[in-house]
Amino acid sequence: MFVMKISAIQMNTGSEKANNLVQARDLVACAVAQDTPDMVVLPEVFAFMGASVAEKRAAAEELPMAGQNGGEAYECLRDLAREHGIFVHGGSFVERDGDAFFNTTLAFDRDGAELARYRKIHLFDVTTPDGRSYRESDTFGAGQAVVTYRADTATIGCSICYDLRFAELYRALAEAGADVIMVPAAFTLQTGKDHWEVLLRARAIETQTYIVAAAQTGSYFEGNDERVSWGHSMIVNPWGHMIAQAGEGVGHTSAALDLDYLSTVRARIPVAQHRVL
């Protein structure tokens, strides 16, 4: 039996980048000390959240070429992997590429070597039921590539937050061989309370993969507008059962993922063999 233990880190990120990186380091160290995971997953925009478009872009980092050092968030992730000897799925942070900006995930192996880069494909341009407008495309461009990588014997699929609503991406990740699909997120309170758990469990059932969702929680400010993230980071197994869940506070939740169970579920209901469209 092959088991991978994963911890989903739940943060309350704000607009002080240095403080956010300290929070990330402390929460990962706590998860490692308490649960000894093989991998940790950070939430979306873990290094900087809120503020103006100009401030978000000012906090952006160019990604380094192979063998070079990166920016503060990049090196924070790499240091966490090296220090603790774990895989780190770095949620996301703001990437600058020339004049373009992206909401980008980085993943690192136990030695701090970069494994993957994923740019969020689906951008959250929505007005929520309380009338608040979210315009992610004002800050970011959209990615185009479906991304997976290997962590030990597991294939990990990449997605970010609003991607969760687009089942076709998750089907593509499953067809690419994903065993575990990551969902670092900053779901709003308004949508999270109704849709978060339902969508995560649906994606797990449809793809017959583990879903690991590390979330932002609590309040932050966009200018003078106070906004609230839903939290409730969770891990869902390929049968659709929630096997770990955080509450509304800062912290983490962990679970041991039995990767052999994937074949059991896929044999029980062989949807991949039955698919005709």
* 120 catalytic residue (yes or no): yes
At 271 the three-state DSSP class reads helix
- List the catalytic residue out of 76, 95, 120, 158: 120
Tell how far CA 256 is from the center of its chain: 18
The structure tokens listed for 169 are: 């991406």
Q: How many CB atoms lie within 10 A of CB 62?
A: 13
- In the sheet that holds 210-213, the strands lie side by side as 148-151, 154-158, 180-182, 210-213, 234-236, 242-245
DSSP sequence for 156-207: EEE--GGGGG-HHHHHHHHHTT-SEEE--B--BHHHIIIIIHHHHHHHHHHH
Instruction: Examine the residue annotation and report whether 161 is marked as an active-site residue of this protein.
Output: yes
Largest separation between any pair of C-alpha atoms in the chain: 53
Catalytic residue, candidates 56, 61, 114, 161? 161
Is 10 within 8 Å of 262 (Cβ atoms)? Answer: no
Q: How far is CA 208 from the centre of its chain?
A: 18
Q: Which helix (H) or strand (E) holds 10?
A: strand 3-10
HEC string of 70-134 equals CCHHHHHHHHHHHHHCCEEECCCEEEEECCEEEEEEEEECCCCCEEEEEECCCCCEEECCCCCEE
Give the other-Cβ count within 10 Å of 60's Cβ.
21
Active-site residue flag, 44: yes
Which residue in the list 44, 61, 95, 114 is annotated as catalytic? 44
Asked if residues 94 and 106 have their Cβ atoms less than 8 Å apart, the reply is no
Catalytic site residues? 44, 120, 161
